[in-house]
Amino acid sequence: MIIPEVLEVLRCPIDPKREAKLIIEDNVRLMCGRCHVQFKIREGFPSLLTEEAILPEGSDNLRELPCHPTRQHS
């Protein structure tokens, strides 16, 4: 289990501004509220490595996600 205080400070690792929050999915995955990329939780610890990211349906590259720096304007 991930404690809520920890979840509160975690951010999408693809987002360079660290603004996109992660939400818990089925207690076994974390999902970015913005780009919907998912990360597995292993023994209570989220694996936030982009190499292990589970891409949302319809995407085959991290660069296509709205959190990716090349997708952010301003």
23 forms bridges with which residues in the sheet?
Answer: 31
Q: Is 57 helix (H, G, I), strand (E, B) or coil?
A: coil
Q: Least distance (Å) from Zn ion to the CB of residue 14?
A: 5
- Between 34 and 40, name the residue whose CB sits nearer to Zn ion: 34
Q: Is 39 exposed, middle or buried, given 0-12, 13-18 or 19+ CB atoms closer than 10 A?
A: buried
Q: Least distance (Å) from Zn ion to the CB of residue 37?
A: 5
Q: Least distance (Å) from Zn ion to the CB of residue 56?
A: 9
Total length of the chain: 74
Residues of this chain that bind Zn ion (CB under 5 A): 12, 14, 20, 32, 34-35, 67
- Between 43 and 53, name the residue whose CB sits nearer to Zn ion: 53
